[in-house]
Structure 1
């Protein structure tokens, strides 16, 4: 398999530590592989029915199916992928693609990134749990996005390929996107709760606290909704989520603040006040701890996506 091992050197952009490429695949009756590269990282492939060569990487890869469908031969098994499927490949997963019945074409986007960036996610997220959930299964984890989410992610990936921006800025944006993806699919509280056999009341409580009126009201509202003593509530959160109720509420508020920064022109001070932060300095401190930048810098990076 070493001969079919794709390495970061020669493929990834060394300044970025990553590469985003778009591939349109057409399955043919021909015996030869053909491809044409246009516009930098846009590839058009004509591939025989036997499929692509199976290979592995020394880097991580995220596969998004934007349209069509195909078979994913991976680690001795098969996954049938269609538009909206998102696959998180691990280094050394052995895989290749083959035609799926009913689909003559497929368009996929590959987000490839080096191990340094991959491992830095645990530092960025301050959580190693996602690594275990990512690496434990035999098959690479896959998830299904609805058409709106698929189109949104597709647009974000293509925007990251903007050559007019500096590699440093693109790398920051890439880290933000990777943090969003891995936290959403691997360390989101609701996903963890579904696998932890937790009490039904706690799972329901976490869902209720995501409502804007509840996350603004904070821990006091949480205690009323839970109908549990403060001590019982705190022990349950520490046992099943590894954090305190206050930490949980602050994370919900910060994530909501990030959405407001990206989707509106509301003043930063007003956002902090609406979400009931005790002080602006406290808001800035928590936001920077979560997103590694100030609210103003985050708005500047993400605000442009509203036009997509």
Structure 2
């Protein structure tokens, strides 16, 4: 399933949007999507996972998720205890280097995240409080809608990005030396899986396409994504099934077959294991929303 592209209204008074302290149900989250604007998410509480650039991250209070522009991503709030978070979106046009003694790279963390394939960072309580105050200041400024609000928001955004660089970049420095970038065969395997969820995806076949042994394929997969190949494929198929349940009128059996499950009982078992709901209950709860 191709990711959708979210478009922002560039005619807004400010090319900056803030979803402030929102608690989203799984039904309200967008499917895999991307956008030109940059985004970061601060987690206040609850549980969930976040999918970005073919990697899953668990979300916990104090976490920062960094989303560079044009990067496919998606949130998965927990059914019982969904994440409460603030998401700040901004156009890169807002970022200008202010020259004092030297220019300052405000988007350095976003560039490092994409280079190092590390999109999640965890703040200490002290630093988390500072970032919460930054977000609160942006929220208040947007609510006041002052005539000079654009200038104020731009300054507050620059300060927030400076704090993110200061508190998160030291964490980004650690894996760079010890963790090589993703090998090309691994990226191609993830892309192939994503494009062929409706077809049989066996470990031996995937390893053969990558021209490596199944054992090596499995080992690298587990190291990189934190789950084995079978669980990853099942999770991606369930994500696709959830989208189809909400966006189509196909029967559950049709959706199961289209998402690559060899039998309806297998689909039901896997769906319940991953979502804690049956497919019918998931579809019904969304329609009642």
TM-score normalised according to structure 2 size? 0.48
In our comparison, the structure showing a higher alpha carbon Rg is 1
Relative to the length of structure 1, the TM-score reads 0.46
